[in-house]
Amino acid sequence: MATRFGLQKWFPDFFDRFGAFTVFDLLVDYIKSGRIQVDKTKITGRIAYHDPCNYGRKSEELFGHGFFDEPRWVLDQCVSDWVDLNPNRANQYCCGGGGGTLLTPYKNERLTYGLKKIQQIRRSGAGMIVLPCHSCHSQIRTLLAENGMTEIAVKYLWELVADILVID
Amino acid sequence: MLNFQENKLTQTIKDKAPLRPIESIPDLCLSCGTCSAGCPITGISGFDPRKIVRMVLEGSDQELIDSPLPWLCTMCGKCEHACPMGINIVNIIRTARGMVDRDKVPGMIHKGVELDLETGNNLGLPAEDFKFIIEDVAGELAETPGFEDFQVPFDKQGANLLHTLHNKLVNTQNEDLVHWWKIFYKAKEDWTIPSVNWEGVNWGLFSGDDDAMKVFVGRIVDHMERLEIKNLMYPE
C-alpha cells in the first residue's frame, strides 16, 4: 500500500510505463488461467480469514477498491470450510499491530489491542487463521502465543496456496 | 472603531455568522465521538481519536507531538471510516508523527528508515550476506521434490515481474521466503529480485517521513527502468 500510494503521489507516470499487481491479482490470475493448480482436499479443518486494514478499508479509501472479494475467491478455490471473522471486510478489527506499532516499545498496549482479535478468533472456531499481511502475521502469532492458543496456526494467503500446489 | 454605515453595506449576516467556518479540515468535526466509539483502542493508555482531532483544531500541535498518542495509533482507519464528516484522521496522526524530532521517534521505526537510506534495507544487511541467505534457502528448495533446479533470478534484465522482500523474511523468518518462490516456479513466472535495494517495506509511511518514503519508492522505479522489467508486484 505504501508503494502504491507513493507511486501515485510522486511517480504518476509509472502507471503509463509499467504494470503493477497486488498479491491478490497474481494469485487470482495464476489460478484462473490454470498456470497453477491447487488441491482442495489437502487441508481439512476450519480456516478463518482476517482482512488487513491496508488491503481492505484503507485501500478502499485511498485507491477506490478494497481487496475483500479476491482473497475470499482464492479461499473458495483452496479449502472447503472457511469462515469470516465478525465483524469483517471494511468493519474488520485491526490485528493491533498496524501503523508500525510492532516496532515501538508499546508492547502491553499492542497485546491489549489484540484482545478483540483473540475474541473474534475464538468465536470463529477455526484451527487456522489465513491473512495476506506481514504485520498482521507477526502480531496474530504473538497474540495466540500470549493467550495460550498456539494450537491455532497462522498462514499467509500465498503460503496456503503454496502448500497445496499440485506437483506433477 | 466600527463604521456602522460601511459595515451595513459590505457585511451580510452570512459574513458575520458563516454557516460553515471552515479554516482547516478538522474544523468540520462535530465532536460527535463516532471516531472514538469506532476506534478499537479508545481508552487504552489515554488514546482517543476525538481528543486528537480537538487538539489539532485548538492548535495544541506541540502537546500532541510531544505525547505518545500519535505512536499508540495503529493507523487502522476505522475512525475515519466511521466519521460522518469524512475527516482524514489517519493523515492527522501521520502528519503529527512526521513533526516529531527524528531522535525522539520511539522504537525501531526511524532506525529502520535510516538503515534503509544508508544500505538499501531496514536490516543494514550487506549485499553478500543477503545473497548468501537467499541462495542457501533457494538451494534447499531445489532439493525438494517438485521444485528441482529452482534458482532465484537476481537482477534479471527484461523480466516480467519484479519481486521485493519484506526484511523479516531475510532476517528471522527465512522459512517464509519459499511460498512465493514455489508459486512462481509452478506458474513458470519470469520473475526477478534486485540484489541491492531489495527492501519491500516502506517505514517512511509509519514515521511520517515523506522524503524517505519517496526515496524508497524511487528505488523501485529505478529497478523497473534499469532492468527493463514489465510489471511490479506490490511489496505489500
DSSP per-residue letters across B78-121: HHHHH-TT---HHHHHHHHHHTS-GGGS-TTHHHHHHHHHHHSS
Determine contact: A97 vs chain B, CB below 8 A.
yes
Helices (H), ranges, chain B: 4-10, 13-16, 34-38, 49-57, 61-66, 69-72, 78-82, 89-98, 109-119, 127-142, 167-170, 178-187, 204-207, 210-226
Q: Are residues B228 and B114 in the same domain?
A: yes
Which residues form the domain of B52?
23-99
Q: Are residues B95 and B118 in the same domain?
A: no
Which one of B99, B124, B159 terminates a domain?
Answer: B99
Whether residue B43 lies inside any domain: the answer is yes
Domain count across chain B: 2
Which one of B79, B99, B119 terminates a domain?
Answer: B99
CA–CA gap between residue B236 and residue B170 (Å, rounded): 15
CA–CA gap between residue A37 and residue B85 (Å, rounded): 46
Q: Are residues B114 and B93 in the same domain?
A: no
Q: What is the pLDDT of residue B1?
A: 43
Whether residue B84 lies inside any domain: the answer is yes
Report the CATH number of the A2-163 domain.
Answer: 3.40.50
Q: What is the pLDDT of residue A70?
A: 98
Q: Are residues B130 and B93 in the same domain?
A: no
Whether residue B5 lies inside any domain: the answer is no
Q: What is the pLDDT of residue B3?
A: 45
- pLDDT beyond 80 at B17: no
Q: What is the pLDDT of residue B18?
A: 58
**Residues of A in Cβ contact (< 8 Å) with B41:** 96, 109, 112-113
Which one of B99, B118, B143 terminates a domain?
Answer: B99
Q: Are residues B113 and B217 in the same domain?
A: yes
Whether residue B2 lies inside any domain: the answer is no
Q: What is the pLDDT of residue B86?
A: 86
Whether residue B15 lies inside any domain: the answer is no
Distance from CA of A116 to the nearest CA of B (A): 8
Q: Are residues B87 and B139 in the same domain?
A: no
Whether residue B40 lies inside any domain: the answer is yes
From chain B residues 169-228, the ones with a CB under 8 A of any chain A CB are 169, 176, 178-180, 182-183, 186-189, 200-207, 213-214, 216-218, 220-221, 224
Lowest average pLDDT, out of A162-166, B71-75, B81-85, B193-197, goes to: B81-85
Q: Are residues B82 and B54 in the same domain?
A: yes
Cell numbers that stand for B145 in this block: 521434490
Whether residue B8 lies inside any domain: the answer is no
Question: Is the reported ipTM for this assembly greater than 0.85?
Answer: yes
Mean pLDDT for the stretch of residues B58-86: 94
Q: Are residues B138 and B194 in the same domain?
A: yes
Q: Are residues B80 and B137 in the same domain?
A: no
Tens of pLDDT along B108-118? Answer: 999 999 999 99
For testing contact with chain B, the best of A1, A102, A119, A134 (most B CBs within 10 A): A134
Q: How confident is the model at residue B236 (pLDDT cuts 50, 70, 90)?
A: confident
Q: What is the pLDDT of residue B58?
A: 85
The residue whose grid cell reads 542457501 is B136
Q: What is the pLDDT of residue B24?
A: 60
Nearest to B45 among A61, A98, A109 (CB): A109
The pLDDT mean for chain B works out to 92
Regions in chain A scoring below 50 on pLDDT: none
Q: Are residues B126 and B183 in the same domain?
A: yes
